[in-house]
C-alpha cells in the first residue's frame, strides 16, 4: 500500500526522503514522487515517476538546497499507475503539495463540485481533490493558516487518509493528518519526520509520536502542535520505540524473505520469553487483562484476521480447542464484519494482525466493540491502530517484517496461540503434567527450528522439481488442512504457481478430477491418528499419475517423505511443518526468477478495503 514520508529541519531533505521511500518500498508500490521547497524564497518543486524508485532518482536535479519536503510511494487505486497519477499532487497554482495514503470515498462528488467552479484536474486520482480543497479554503478565507485550511478541507472528506501537506507560502512547515491510515511523527533535534511506517524514520530518531484518529499536526523545526478536528490542542509526548534499525536491513541475506525465515529461531524465543511459567505449568499473559474469573466465564472464542493472519487464527483455534476444550473458530475479518455478526456476552474475540493496520481487521474489531464485545489483539507492530483499538492482547515481538509475505509472524502467531491455549487450559481442566508437556514442547521449538533450517538445501532440491509445474495441490487434515492453505498461499504469492489447498478428505469429492502428471500434490502428514487416512489419499493421487511430495513427521511411513520434520507435541507440530512450506515457496520463486520480496500486485499492509 501507499507510503508517505516527510521532513522539516536543517538537513538536506532529498537524500532523507529518498532513504525513507526506500524503506517504504517493501509495502508494494507502482510509482513514487517527492515535493520539496527549494531556494531561499522557497518554491515548490515536484518530481514523480511511474515504476521503481530508480526512475524517480533519474529525474532529480544533481544539486538542490532544500530542507523541507514530502515523499510518496503509490499503490494505484484511483487511476492507473503512471507519472501523472503519481503523488505528490498540487493545487492549480502549484503552491500546495499533498501526499496521501488511503481513499477519499466521496472524491467524485468533490471533483464534480470543484470542476463546476472551473478548477482543472491533472490526474484521475482521489488525492488531487485534497490539494484543490485546501486551495479553495485559502481563497475563501485568506487569513487562515495551512493547518486550518487542511482542517476545513478534511471536514468535507469521507474516507480514510494519512496525509502530508505543504505550501510554499508557509516555508519550513508540514501539516500531517490521519484518519483510518497510519501516520506517526519522529522527533529529532530541531527537526521533525513524519511517515506512515516506523521503518522510514527509525534510523534518524527513536522518539516517536503516534497520531490518533482525527489528529492534525503542524510540524516546524521548532516542534510540533497536534490539534483535533475541532481545533482543540491535544498534548502528546513522544515515546521511545525499541525497534532495532537492523530489522530494516537484509544483513547479508539475498532477500528479506529468507532473512525473516531464518529469524524464526530468535523470534520464537522472544514471543515465548518470560511468558512460560514452569512452576504452575501455564503461561503468563497479563496483557490480556483477564482475571481468573473472567477466563472461566469464556464459553466461546472467535478469532478474526485476513490472509495468513486468518490461517494462523484457524490453526490457533484448533490449538485452543485441543488444550482448553473451549469451542473456538476463526473467520476472515472482512466476511465477519459484513454479515451482521451476533456478539455474545460470553464469547471472547481475538484479532490477529502483523501490521496492526489491516483495514478489514480493524473494522471487525470496531464492529465487535460497538456491540459490546471484548477484543484482544495478537499484533506485531507496537502502537499500531489495531493494537491501540483492542481491549488488551499480546505483542509478537517478531521485529519488523519487511518482505511482503508473512513468515516469521505466521509462526510467532501460532506460538502465541499455544500460550493462549495453555493459559485458558490451565485455568480449567488441563492437568499440571499435561501443562508441563506443553511448556517443554514450546521450549524445544528454537532448537528444532534451527535443525529444520539446516535442512534448507534439501528443500531447495525439491523446489527445483516443483518449479517446473504451473499448478499444484496442497492437502492435509485438521491443522494440516490449514497448513496446506498457508503452503499454497505462500507458493502462489511469490512464485505465481496456481496452487489450491484442500482438506485431504475432500480430494475425492471433486478436485481429484484435475490430478494428473501436470498437477503435483504436496501432502501434510503429521504423526497422528490420521496417518493411515493421509497415506491412502496419497495413494489415490499416485494412482492418477500425480506426483506427491510429503511434508512428513517422524516415523511416518512414506516413500515420498522428502521434507522431513522431527517428531513433536501435536500443538507445536504446525509451527515446525510451516518451515518446509515457507522454504519451498521461497526456493521455487527463486527458481522461477520471481521478485520474492515484492511480489506483483501485493502490498505489505492493506490499509484500504
Contacts of 178 (CB under 8 A, 6+ apart): 161, 162, 163, 211, 212, 213, 214, 215
Among 186, 307, 480, 599, binds ligand F6R (CB under 6 A): 307
Tell the smallest beta-carbon distance from residue 304 to ligand F6R (Å): 10
d(CA 20, CA 29): 14
355 sits near ligand F6R (criterion: CB under 6 A):
yes
Whole-angstrom CA distances from 332 to 313, 318, 405 are: 9, 16, 17
563 sits near ligand F6R (criterion: CB under 6 A):
no
Of 369, 333, 371, residue with least CA distance to 353? 333
Nearer to ligand F6R, 67 or 353 (CB): 353
402 sits near ligand F6R (criterion: CB under 6 A):
no
217 sits near ligand F6R (criterion: CB under 6 A):
no
332 sits near ligand F6R (criterion: CB under 6 A):
no
Of 135, 131, 152, residue with least CA distance to 231? 152
**Residue 47 is placed in which grid cell?**
518530481
306 sits near ligand F6R (criterion: CB under 6 A):
yes
Tell the smallest beta-carbon distance from residue 410 to ligand F6R (Å): 7
Q: Is the preceding peptide bond at 487 cis, omega within 30 degrees of 0?
A: no
Among 138, 361, 411, 573, binds ligand F6R (CB under 6 A): 361
Q: How many residues bind ligand F6R (CB under 6 A)?
A: 15
Contacts of 525 (CB under 8 A, 6+ apart): 476, 480, 531, 534, 535, 538, 550, 551, 552, 553, 556, 558, 561
Nearer to ligand F6R, 407 or 560 (CB): 407
The strand ranges marked E within 507-566 are: 521-525, 548-553, 563-565
Among 123, 206, 227, 308, binds ligand F6R (CB under 6 A): 308
Burial of 119 (0-12, 13-18, 19+ CB in 10 A): middle
d(CA 119, CA 105): 20
d(CA 210, CA 383): 7
Catalytic residue among 2, 68, 306, 328: 2
390 sits near ligand F6R (criterion: CB under 6 A):
no
Q: Is 604 a catalytic residue?
A: yes
Contacts of 231 (CB under 8 A, 6+ apart): 148, 151
Tell the smallest beta-carbon distance from residue 356 to ligand F6R (Å): 7
d(CA 275, CA 279): 12
d(CA 62, CA 437): 63
Q: HEC profile for 367-383?
A: HHHHCCCEEEEEECCCC
d(CA 214, CA 302): 30
Q: HEC profile for 325-369?
A: CCCEEEEEHHHHHCCCCCCCCCEEEEEEECCCCCHHHHHHHHHHH
Looking at 9-17, 117-125, 209-217, 350-358, which segment touches ligand F6R (CB under 6 A)? 350-358
d(CA 68, CA 6): 8
Among 97, 309, 412, 441, binds ligand F6R (CB under 6 A): 309
x/- mask, ligand F6R, residues 40-59, rule CB under 6 A, reads --------------------
Tell the smallest beta-carbon distance from residue 452 to ligand F6R (Å): 19
560 sits near ligand F6R (criterion: CB under 6 A):
no
Nearer to ligand F6R, 282 or 406 (CB): 406
Q: Coil, helix or strand for 535?
A: helix
Q: Is 68 a catalytic residue?
A: no
x/- mask, ligand F6R, residues 580-609, rule CB under 6 A, reads -------------------------xx---
Among 353, 478, 547, 560, binds ligand F6R (CB under 6 A): 353
Residue nearest to ligand F6R as judged by C-beta position: 307
Question: What residues numbered 486-525 form the site for ligand F6R, per CB under 6 A?
Answer: 489, 493
Nearer to ligand F6R, 407 or 521 (CB): 407
354 sits near ligand F6R (criterion: CB under 6 A):
yes
358 sits near ligand F6R (criterion: CB under 6 A):
yes
Nearer to ligand F6R, 361 or 553 (CB): 361
90 sits near ligand F6R (criterion: CB under 6 A):
no
Q: Which residues are at the interface with ligand F6R (CB under 6 A)?
A: 306-309, 353-355, 358, 361, 405-406, 489, 493, 605-606
Q: Which residues are catalytic?
A: 2, 604
Amino acid at each position: 500500500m501507499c507510503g508517505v514520508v516527510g521532513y522539516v529541519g536543517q538537513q538536506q531533505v532529498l537524500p532523507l526522503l529518498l532513504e525513507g521511500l526506500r524503506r517504504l518500498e517493501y509495502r508494494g508500490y507502482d510509482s513514487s514522487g517527492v515535493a520539496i521547497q527549494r531556494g531561499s524564497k522557497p518554491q515548490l518543486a515536484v518530481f514523480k515517476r511511474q515504476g521503481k524508485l530508480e526512475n524517480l532518482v533519474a529525474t532529480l536535479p544533481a544539486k538542490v538546497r532544500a530542507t523541507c519536503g514530502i515523499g510518496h510511494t503509490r499503490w494505484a487505486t484511483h487511476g492507473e499507475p503512471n507519472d501523472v497519477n503519481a503523488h505528490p499532487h498540487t493545487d492549480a497554482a502549484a503552491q500546495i503539495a499533498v501526499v496521501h495514503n488511503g481513499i477519499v470515498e466521496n472524491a467524485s462528488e468533490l471533483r464534480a463540485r470543484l470542476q463546476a467552479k472551473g478548477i482543472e484536474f491533472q490526474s484521475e486520482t482521489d488525492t488531487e481533490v485534497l490539494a484543490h480543497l485546501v486551495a479553495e479554503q485559502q481563497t475563501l478565507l485568506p487569513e487562515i493558516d495551512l493547518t486550518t485550511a487542511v482542517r476545513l478541507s478534511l471536514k468535507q472528506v469521507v474516507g480514510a487518509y494519512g496525509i502530508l501537506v505543504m505550501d510554499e507560502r508557509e516555508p519550513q512547515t508540514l501539516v500531517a493528518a490521519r484518519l483510518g491510515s497510519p501516520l506517526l511523527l519522529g522527533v529529532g533535534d530541531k527537526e521533525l519526520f513524519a511517515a506512515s511506517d516506523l521503518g522510514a524514520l527509525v534510523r534518524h530518531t527513536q522518539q516517536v509520536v503516534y497520531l490518533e484518529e482525527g489528529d492534525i499536526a503542524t510540524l516546524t523545526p521548532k516542534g510540533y502542535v497536534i490539534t483535533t478536528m475541532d481545533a482543540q490542542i491535544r498534548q502528546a509526548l513522544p515515546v521511545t520505540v525499541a525497534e532495532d534499525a537492523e530489522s530494516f536491513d537484509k544483513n547479508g541475506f539475498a532477500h528479506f524473505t529468507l532473512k525473516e525465515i531464518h529469524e524464526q529461531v530468535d523470534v520464537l524465543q522472544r514471543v515465548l520469553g518470560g511468558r512460560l511459567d514452569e512452576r504452575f505449568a501455564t503461561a503468563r499473559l497479563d496483557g490480556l487483562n483477564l482475571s481468573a474469573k473472567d477466563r472461566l466465564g469464556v464459553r466461546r472464542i472467535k478469532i478474526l484476521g485476513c490472509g495468513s493472519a486468518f490461517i494462523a487464527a484457524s490453526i490457533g483455534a484448533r490449538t485452543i480447542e485441543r488444550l482448553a476444550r473451549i469451542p473456538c473458530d476463526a473467520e476472515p475479518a472482512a466476511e465477519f464484519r459484513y454479515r451482521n455478526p451476533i456478539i455474545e456476552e460470553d464469547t471472547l474475540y481475538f484479532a490477529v494482525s502483523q501490521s496492526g493496520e489491516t483495514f478489514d481487521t480493524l473494522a471487525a474489531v470496531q464492529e465487535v466493540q460497538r456491540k459490546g464485545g471484548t477484543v484482544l489483539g495478537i499484533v506485531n507492530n507496537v502502537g499500531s491502530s489495531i493494537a491501540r483499538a483492542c481491549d488488551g492482547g499480546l505483542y509478537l515481538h517478531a521485529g519488523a517484517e519487511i518482505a511482503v509475505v508473512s513468515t516469521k509472524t505466521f509462526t510467532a502467531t501460532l506460538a502465541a496461540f499455544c500460550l493462549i491455549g495453555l493459559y485458558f487450559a490451565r485455568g480449567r481442566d488441563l492437568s499440571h503434567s499435561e501443562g508441563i508437556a506443553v511448556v517443554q514442547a514450546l521450549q524445544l521449538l528454537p532448537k528444532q527450528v534451527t535443525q529444520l533450517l539446516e535442512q534448507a538445501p534439501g528443500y531447495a532440491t525439491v523446489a527445483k522439481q516443483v518449479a517446473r509445474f504451473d499448478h499444484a495441490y496442497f492437502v492435509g487434515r485438521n491443522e494440516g488442512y490449514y497448513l496446506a492453505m498457508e503452503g499454497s498461499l505462500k507458493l502462489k504469492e511469490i512464485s505465481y504457481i496456481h496452487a489450491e489447498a484442500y482438506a485431504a478428505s475432500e480430494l475425492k469429492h471433486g478436485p481429484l478430477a484435475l490430478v494428473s502428471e501436470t498437477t503435483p500434490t504436496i501432502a501434510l502428514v503429521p504423526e497422528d491418528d490420521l496417518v493411515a487416512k493421509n497415506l491412502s489419499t496419497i495413494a489415490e493421487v499416485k494412482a492418477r499419475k500425480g506426483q506427491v511430495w510429503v511434508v512428513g513427521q517422524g516415523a511416518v511411513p512414506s516413500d515420498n517423505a522428502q521434507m522431513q520434520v522431527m517428531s513433536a507435541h501435536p500443538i507445536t507440530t504446525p509451527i515446525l511443518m510451516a518451515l518446509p512450506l515457507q522454504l519451498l515457496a521461497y526456493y521455487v520463486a527463486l527458481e522461477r526468477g520471481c521478485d520474492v520480496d515484492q511480489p506483483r500486485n501485493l502490498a505489505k499492509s492493506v490499509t484500504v478495503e
